[in-house]
Structure formats: structure tokens, C-alpha cells
Amino acid sequence: MGLILDSVEVLASLAVALLAVIIAALAPYTWASLRPRNFPPGPRALPLVGNLHLIPKSKAFVLFHQWTKKYGPIIGLKFGPTNVVILDDWRDVEQLLEKRGHLYSSRPSNYIANQLICPDDTHILFAPYGNTWKAQRKAAQGLLTPRELAGIVPIQQAEAVQTAYDMVRDPGRCYEHIERYTTAVILASVFGQRGESFDSPNIQALYDVQNRFTALLEPGAAPPVDGITFLRHIPEFLAPWKRKAKQIRRDQSALYSRLYNETKARMQRGVRTGCFMEKLIDEQVQNKLDDEHTIYLGGILMEAGSDTTSSTLNSFLLGMLENPGALKSAQDEVDRVCGTERSPTMADLDHLPYIEACMHEVLRWRPVAAGGIPHMLMQTDTYKGYVFPAGTIFFANTWAIHNNESEYDDPACFRPERWLGGNKYGTKADIQLAPGEQRKSSYGWGVGRRICSGQKMAEASIKINIAKIVWGFDLEEVPGHPPDVSIETGYAGGFVIHPKKFPIRMTPRSEQRADVLQREFEALRGFYEGLSA
């Protein structure tokens, strides 16, 4: 009996000790999950998890927009021990992320992205603010000056010609034709290689690794390892997300390194295409970037330019189905400027204000980075009576900004006309900027020192494709299959949102126009062959 009692006492002591260890391990997270003093209002936080139990796995920006009605345009949240602030008004975004950019330009640590997939700050999007990021940013901006962008206009033009002709030949794959275009332009611009079809190995490899990368970063795809850091130490055989991350790392590095090495080998043979990677290699020492950072800068330019532009163009097609009157207005404009004997060119874009309005409207209506990309505060700051501790993460909620009913008439509707008549922001006629105020037409490109360097390049690609599509084609719903334009059910939510594949009837407006598109494609065969050499 004494032995049994001794055993029970030992087990009880072990249980108490284990409980004490668990409490000691969780205590810092429980304490840190409490809201700081003078933090913005928000829903009540629970011990340990904060507000994580309230956050949906997809499209949290929709919920944050709804919370604005209850908590106001500055919402304070707790993601476990992490302080998070959601900015739902562009004025606060401009005041903090733009005007105080020296404080708000870092990125929060992302264990999966920064350490497992892209270690050593190789991914400019996720890299913290510092010398490495500054060197990458400077090199990227040097590639995207007006002079450099003028040099890739022939590529954008030629690939848009093929895209329009591909839609004549196989209209059922218009979704893939658009994805081919956006990747082909970047592939040729950055690496001097051709992506002649959606099934090309390089295009398939890029979309494969990129889709897996963004899927793994989506909330719920992995445990909250950034907020509850001890989860990082789960053994790999119990953590499939670790195995996925390491495979993405291998595949991503192999693709980007191969494209880099092929460019370098071509240069050593004395063959140059004028692509961006050639300039990066020539200026590598000047840029203070080693091989790995140069390789990844080229790869990231390619991944950033492909997914975002294709999502926007496919959203444009949805907008045309949603508002057939807008399609008619766009067709009337390109017909007046271009006639029926040729399709629009890049030189026509300055004379097509309705096409420009269509671009601005689709960027407002369905912003690609709808939830914003996180900015991290580098030192404690105060604003409007609130105190933001160092390390607080800020999101500019683009979805909320672009759907503000007090500023936009019927914001849920696709209406290009709102941008006409000199209205640079598409807002209600009585909305005026206060003295000293500055705002952007779209917040989907980011803000402050982290704003997208490739915005002008992407906008040119969007406009030329919109112009060619409306010149060449009628767009109609497939009978019995209305498109789902809802952001909540018709879009896939991830780091970048994009419309789910949808049925669309795309037919040439006439046989003559189809012949024009074929003739223009045939006339550029020499150009395409030059890119493929």
C-alpha cells in the first residue's frame, strides 16, 4: 500500500510539474495577448489567441470593412501576442504609411517566407527595412525608369497582339491566354526568353511554384508560428507545412537560378537581348547584391508582374459581363480612334480616356492586394491619441478604402464613367481634397516606401489588353451560367485575390476584325522568333 501511495504522489508531483511548465511556457503569450493601453478600439481579445478566433481563413478584409461601422476607421486587433492595426481610411494611410514612412516601412517577420522559403532577406516583398532591402529596391527602381520602360513597349505590344489572336483561335481558354500574356512579358523583359504558350515549361513552372507559395502563406494553411513561436520547433515529420515550404524553396530556387544561369551563359557567348537581368549582372557589384539576391530579384520581378496583372485583366472581363453598357462605350471609343482596319496600339492609349477609366475602375472594383500588405512599425508612435507600440503591424485595407460609400457612388458596381470628366479619383462629385491633402487613385499598388515599383509597367499592359479585347470581341454571358462576380464567392482568396474560372462567350465582332488580328500576328513572327533565339 505504501508503494502505491508513493507512486501516486510521484505521479501527482510530475503532473503538477508538467502543468507548471505548460503555464510558464504559455504565460508570456497570455500576457502579451492583452490589449495595450491607448490602443485603437476593436473586438474583445481572448487570452493567448487574442482575436485570432474571429479572423476568417479567407478574405478577412471584408470583415474588417464591416467592423468599421462599429469601431471606426482605425481598428486595433491582437493576433496572439502581436499588435495589429487595420486602416480603413486613405487619410490615415497617407498620414502614417506615407508621411511617416521612415517609421512604418519594415515588414513583420514571416517564419515560413523569410526563413524556410526565402532566407537571408532574398525576397524583396518580405524583407525587413534595412540595407539589403534598400539595395534591392534601388536596383529594381533602376530597371523601371521611364527610359527602361520605353524599351519594353515593343514586347508588351507584340505579346498583346498574340493574346488577341489566341482568343480568336481558342476563345475557350481566354483565362489562360491572359495568364500567358502577363508572364510572357515579364519573362522576356527580365530574362530575354519567350513564353510562346500557356503550356510553355517556364510559364507552367512559375505558376506552379507561385501558387504553392501563396497557398502556404494563406491564413490557416500552417499553424500561427509567427504569433506562437514555439510551434516552429515541431519536428518536420509532424509538420507537413515545413515539408511543403522546403520543397517550394527547392523548386523556386531551381527555376530562378536556371533562368539566371541561362542569361549569364548567353552573355558570355556575346549574345544580348537588352533584358533586365543583363543589366543586373552588369551592375551587380555596384548594386551591392550577391548572386543569390540578384537571382531572386529577377525571379521576384517575374512573379510580381505575372499574377497581379492577370488577375486584374480577368476581373476586367467580369466587369464587362456585369456592365454590358460599359463594353459598348469602350467599343465605341476604340472604333472612333482606330477604325476597323487595325487594332489599338500602345501609341493610341493616350487618346482612349474611356479605356483608361476602365483600367482605374477595375483596379478600384477588384484590387489585387485587397487586404493590403503588412507594414511594421519600427519604433513606438502616437496618432490621434492612440499609442502604437514598436512592432505593431499595420494593414491598409484597400478593399475598405475602395468601397467607402461616403466617397463613391454605388461602390459595389463596376462603373468606368465615375473616372471621366477630370475626376482623378472616381469619387462623388462633391468630394474635394482639403488643403495639403494628397491621395492615390488606387491603393492596390501599396503605399509609402513599399509602393510597387512596377506600377507604370503593369498599367500599360492592362490598358493595351483592354483596348485590344474590346476592339476585337463581343463579350457575353454563357446562357444558363451567369458569372459569379461576388468577392466572397467568385474569387479565390490568398495573398493575391483572383477570380475563379468563369464561363464567358467571347466572339470576334466580325470576320474582318478576326482577319486583322491574324494579319497583325503574322506580321510579328520575326519579332517572336528573335525573342525565342
Kindly report the length of the chain: 533
Residue whose cell numbers read 522559403? 117
Q: How far apart are CA 40 and CA 246, in angstroms?
A: 38
Residue type for position 30? T
**E strand map for 468-518:** 473-476, 491-492, 498-499, 505-508
Q: How far apart are CA 143 and CA 34, in angstroms?
A: 45
Query: DSSP per residue over 203-225, as a string?
Result: HHHHHHHHHHHHHHHSTTSS--T
358 is in an annotated binding site: no
Query: DSSP per residue over 135-170, as a string?
Result: HHHHHHHHHSSHHHHHHHHHHHHHHHHHHHHHHHH-
Q: How many CB atoms lie within 10 A of CB 401?
A: 28
Give Cβ neighbours of residue 154 (< 8 Å, ≥ 6 apart): 527
Query: DSSP per residue over 104-138, as a string?
Result: S-B----IIIIIIISTTTT-TTTPPSSHHHHHHHH
Burial class (CB in 10 A: 0-12, 13-18, 19+), 40: buried
Residues contributing to the annotated binding site: 452
Residues contributing to the annotated binding site for heme: 452
